[in-house]
Amino acid sequence: MVVSERKLTAQEIVDLSKEFTFFSWSVQGETNPIPVAKAEGVYFWDAQGKRYLDLASQLVNANVGHQNPRVVRAIQEQAAQLAFVAPGMTTEPRALLGRKLSEITPGDLKKTFFTLGGAEANENAIKIARFYTGRHKILARYRSYHGATHGAMALTGDYRRLPAEPAMPGVVHVLDPYCYRCPFGWTRQTCHRECISHVEEVIQHEGPDQIAAIILEGVTGTNGLIIPPDDYWPRMREICDKYGILLISDEVMSGWGRTGTWFAVDNWGVVPDIITTAKGLTSGYVPLGAVIVREKIARFFDDKYLYAGLTYSGHALACAAALATIEAYEQEGIFENARKVGAYLGRRLEELKSRHPAIGDVRYIGLFSALELVKDRASKEPADLGALRKFLLERGVYVFNFRNILFVVPPLIISEEQLESGLTLLDEGLAELMP
Ligand X SMILES: Cc1ncc(COP(=O)(O)O)c(C=O)c1O
Binding site for ligand X (CB under 6 A): 117-119, 122, 145-147, 217, 221-222, 250, 252-253, 278
Under DSSP, the state recorded for 50 is -
- In terms of CB distance, is 155 or 320 closer to ligand X? 155
Q: Give the nearest distance from C-beta 280 to ligand X in angstroms.
A: 11
Rounded to whole angstroms, the Cα distance separating 367 from 100 reads 24
Tell me how far, at minimum, the Cβ of 156 lies from ligand X, in Å. Answer: 8
Output the smallest distance, CB 232 to ligand X, in A: 16
Q: How far apart are CA 389 and CA 384, in angstroms?
A: 10
Residue number with CB closer to ligand X (260 or 289): 289
Q: Name which of 118 and 429 has its Cβ closer to ligand X.
A: 118
Select from 267, 279, 207, 201 the least CA-distant residue to 232: 267
Of 98, 73, 56, nearest to 321 by C-alpha is: 73
**Which residue, 119 or 199, is less far from ligand X as judged by CB?**
119
CB of 34 to ligand X, least distance (A): 19
In angstroms, the Cα distances linking 46 to 1, 13, 33, 34, 393 are 21, 11, 10, 7, 12
Beta carbon nearer to ligand X, 117 or 410: 117
> Which is nearer to ligand X, 147 or 411 (by Cβ)?
147
Q: Could you tell me the smallest distance in angstroms from the CB atom of residue 63 to ligand X?
A: 13
CA gap 243, 114 in Å, rounded:
28
> Which residue is closest to ligand X by CB?
118
What is the SS3 assignment for 46?
A: strand
Write down the least CB distance from residue 222 to ligand X, Å.
Answer: 5
Nearer to ligand X, 149 or 337 (CB): 149
d(CA 366, CA 375): 27
Q: Specify whether the CB–CB gap between 195 and 183 falls below 8 A.
A: yes
Starting at the edge strand that comes first in sequence, how are the strands of the sheet with 43-46 ordered?
36-40, 43-46, 51-54, 397-398
Supply the minimum distance, in Å, between the C-beta of residue 277 and ligand X.
Answer: 9
SS3 call for 295? helix
Alpha carbon distance 35, 12 (integer Å): 9
